[in-house]
């Protein structure tokens, strides 16, 4: 069985008969995984910055 990247559809692996792979498992190539990691880090940064309600010093000086 051949497994393809869920995002870009390139061949990622070839699994031999009898291997234990879960049904509907998704594989991702290293290039797409790096992109997902960057997006995940950006989402975490946005979530963390939205939790802090303090206005940055630049905006405090600008708006008073």
In a domain, 40, yes or no: yes
- Summarised one tens digit per residue, pLDDT across range 11-59 is 999 988 888 888 888 899 999 999 999 999 999 988 887 766 666 677 7
CA distances from residue 44 to 34, 39, 47 in whole angstroms, order as listed: 15, 9, 5
- 3-state secondary structure (DSSP) of residue 12: strand
Instruction: Please name the residue that has the structure tokens 């290039």.
Output: 31
- Please state the pTM of the whole predicted model: 0.61
Q: Does residue 57 lie within any of the structural domains? A: no
For residues 49 and 60, what is the distance between their CA atoms, to the nearest angstrom? 16
Asked, for residue 16, whether it belongs to a domain, the answer is yes
Question: Is residue 64 predicted with pLDDT exceeding 70?
Answer: no
Residues of the domain holding 26: 2-52
What pLDDT is recorded for position 51? 67
Query: Count of CB atoms within 10 A of residue 6's CB?
Result: 13
pLDDT tens-digit map of 36-48: 999 999 999 888 8
Residue 60 lies in a domain: no
d(C-alpha 64, C-alpha 52), whole Å:
19
- Residue 58 inside a domain? The answer is no
The partner residues of 11 in beta bridges, in order of sequence, read: 4
The domain total for the chain is 1
């Amino acid at each position: 069985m051949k497994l393809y990247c869920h995002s870009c559809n390139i061949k990622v692996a070839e699994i031999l008969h009898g291997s234990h792979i879960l049904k509907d498992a998704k594989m991702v190539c290293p290039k797409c995984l790096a992109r997902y990691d960057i997006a995940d880090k950006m989402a975490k940064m946005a979530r963390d910055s939205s939790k802090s309600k303090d206005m940055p010093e630049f905006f405090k000086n600008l708006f008073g």
